[in-house]
Amino acid sequence: MDTIHYLTVPKTARYYYSYKESNNKLFIALHGYANSITTFQSKFNDLTDHGFDVLIPEAMHRFYSKGTSGNVACSWMTKEMREFDIKENNHYLESLLENILLNKEYKHIYILGFSQGGSIAIRWVMNSKFHFDKILIWASSIPIEINEESLKNLPSKKTWIVGTKDEYIPEIERNKLEKKFLSVGFSVKKYSGNHQIDNEILEQVLQIKK
C-alpha cells in the first residue's frame, strides 16, 4: 500500500543574540519571507546601546533566493504541512526563549514580527507561557485560525505598523487590515515607506531618544 507517513526528527536552529550585561529589556525580532538573520539583524544593531538586548531567531526552511546557488534565504512555513510547521515553530521559539532566560532575567520582553514573521509572532504569543510587554506587527496580517477575542484580551501593548507605499499591501487591503487590527486592540502606526523596516519609525515606536 502506498501511503504518506510522517517522522519527527531533531533539527538545529540558528539565531542571533546581542547583549550587554546592563540591559534589562529583550527585543525579539522575527524576520519575513526570504530573509535570514545575516541580513535582518543589521536593522537592529543600535538597540543594544539603548537598553535592549536583541534576539533574532532564524526560520528553519532554507532555499537559494535565486536559482540553485548564491545567497540563501529562509521561510517560516508554506501551505504544505501547515499544521506541523505552526506547532514546530511555536515549540522552537518557546524553547529558544526558555534557553535565553536561563542565563539572564529581563524586566520587559518585546516582540516584533515583520511580514511573514508577523503571523508567526501572533501564533507564538497566543500560545506562549511568557508575557510580552509589547507586540509589534509590521506589514503583516492576523492568521485566519486565531481567536480574535483572545488576541484582543492579551495583556500587552499591541501596535500594527505599515508603510503607505508597501508594494505587497495595496491601499484597499491596507484599509481592511487597519480596521481588523483596530478591532482587536492594536494601535496603528502608518508611515510613508515600502515593505521594509524603517529605523526611524522603529525608534519612535520603541520611544528611543538619541
In a domain, 1, yes or no: no
3-state SS, residue 26: strand
Please tell me the distance from the alpha carbon of residue 29 to that of residue 31, in angstroms, as a whole number. 6
Q: What is the share, in percent, of the chain residues with pLDDT greater than 70?
A: 100
Mean pLDDT value across residues 53-73: 93
- Lookup: cell for 65: 533566493
* Residue 156, amino acid: S
Task: Evaluate whether residue 106 is within a structural domain.
Answer: yes
Query: Which pLDDT value is given to residue 14?
Result: 97
pTM for the full model? Answer: 0.96
Is the pLDDT reported for residue 123 higher than 90?
A: yes
Q: How many CB atoms lie within 10 A of CB 3?
A: 4
pLDDT value of residue 2 = 83
The interaxial angle of helices 116-127 and 82-103, nearest 10 deg, is 70
C-alpha cell at 22: 546592563
Q: Hey, which residues does 191 pair with through a beta bridge?
A: 163
Rounded to a whole number of angstroms, the distance between the first and last alpha carbons of the chain is 66
- Distance between CA atoms of 143 and 54, rounded to whole angstroms? 25
Q: What is the reported pLDDT for 64?
A: 93
Contacts of 154 (CB under 8 A, 6+ apart): 125, 126, 135, 185
Question: What is the structure's pLDDT at 67?
Answer: 85
Please calculate the CA angle 147-151-153 and round it to the nearest 5 degrees: 120
Residue 20 lies inside a defined structural domain of this protein: yes
Domain that holds residue 115: 15-205
Q: Nearest CA to 35 among 71, 6, 2?
A: 71
- CATH number for 56: 3.40.50.1820
In terms of Cα–Cα distance, which of 9, 38, 86, 49 is closest to 209? 49
Rounded CA separation 71/19 (Å): 27
Q: Over 90: is that where the pLDDT of 209 sits?
A: no
DSSP line for 135-178: EEEES----TTS-HHHHHT-SSEEEEEEETT-TTS-HHHHHHHH
Q: What DSSP character marks residue 98?
A: H
Q: Does residue 34 lie within any of the structural domains?
A: yes
Question: For the chain, what is the domain count?
Answer: 1
pLDDT tens for 1-55 read 789 999 999 999 999 999 999 999 999 999 999 999 998 999 999 999 999 999 9
Residue 111's SS3 state is strand
